[in-house]
A = this chain, B = another copy of it.
Amino acid sequence: MKIPKSHPRFVSLNIREKIVSGYNNGLVAKEGLLAHGRGEAFDYLIGERTMRSARTAINAAAVTLLTAKNSVISVNGNIAALCPKEIIQLAKITKSKIEVNLFYHNEDRKKKIVKHLKNAGAKQVLGTNPRSNRKIIGIDSPRRIIDKDGIFAADVLIPLEDGDRTQALKNAGKTIITFDLNPLSRTAQTADITIVDNVIRGMRLLISACKKAKTKKVSFNNRKALASAISEIKNNLKRRATLA
């Protein structure tokens, strides 16, 4: 459907159409459409701009990725549909591997995502070779299946997907960097570095932070950053309640 330009939510509705077209091309799951909607709500609350606390987290993430021995970017259909170029750029600049890992598991969809990423310029995408399958201990969902050369072997992980397995991956000794618009979610609270931002905006900033990063040291307190994020959202609400 064509959104009338007069609609006050024109921009947001057009991004929505992008994810719908990802669905039409077999990359995005139905449940992925819902997840995107959840993201829209939180983005609305943070004011649809990158918060100060997110910039701090992005800088810490850049240094962590650049100093990792074996970093892996784990992607799902939504992120592949929204910013394939950025995934590839980030992988290149941080020498990370890319692995496809889906909560709503589907081999056909997985293959379509791999193809989509390769069309966008990715050289190697892990996650579809059954002989490389390994399991994460401590979770039930189909996402426990990981690639022995990818997530299984990684020291630093950046899962660009809804997470129910951050704790299990941490138990396996990995450092977790995550994008999560909900600072209260289990994933946000469990990760080592949580970037509370829209993944499209945040990925671009992360790429440019990786380009600029000079130091190899990082001092970052995720609990503090999350508290700041919540505080910024509260202040936004306060300001808007006053304007209302």
Contact = CB atoms under 8 A, between A and B. Distances in A.
Interface of A: 1, 4, 6-9, 16, 19-20, 23, 30-31, 33-42, 44-45, 104-105, 139-142, 164, 182-184, 186, 189, 223, 226-227, 230-231, 233-234, 237-238, 240-241, 244
Contacts of A244: 183-184, 189, 223, 226-227, 230
Interface of A is mostly: helix
Contact of A35 (B37, B42, B105): B37
Contacts of A238: 234
A30 B37 contact: no
Contacts of A241: 184, 226-227, 230-231, 234
B240 A230 contact: yes
Given A6-B140, A34-B34, 9 more contacts: A4-B140, A8-B164, A9-B164, A38-B38, A183-B244, A184-B244, A189-B244, A230-B244, A237-B237
Contacts of A44: 38, 182, 184
Given A141-B7, A227-B241, A237-B234, A34 B37 contact: yes
9 contacts: A6-B139, A19-B34, A20-B31, A23-B30, A38-B44, A41-B41, A184-B241, A227-B241, A234-B241
A43 to B, nearest CB: 9
A141 B38 contact: no
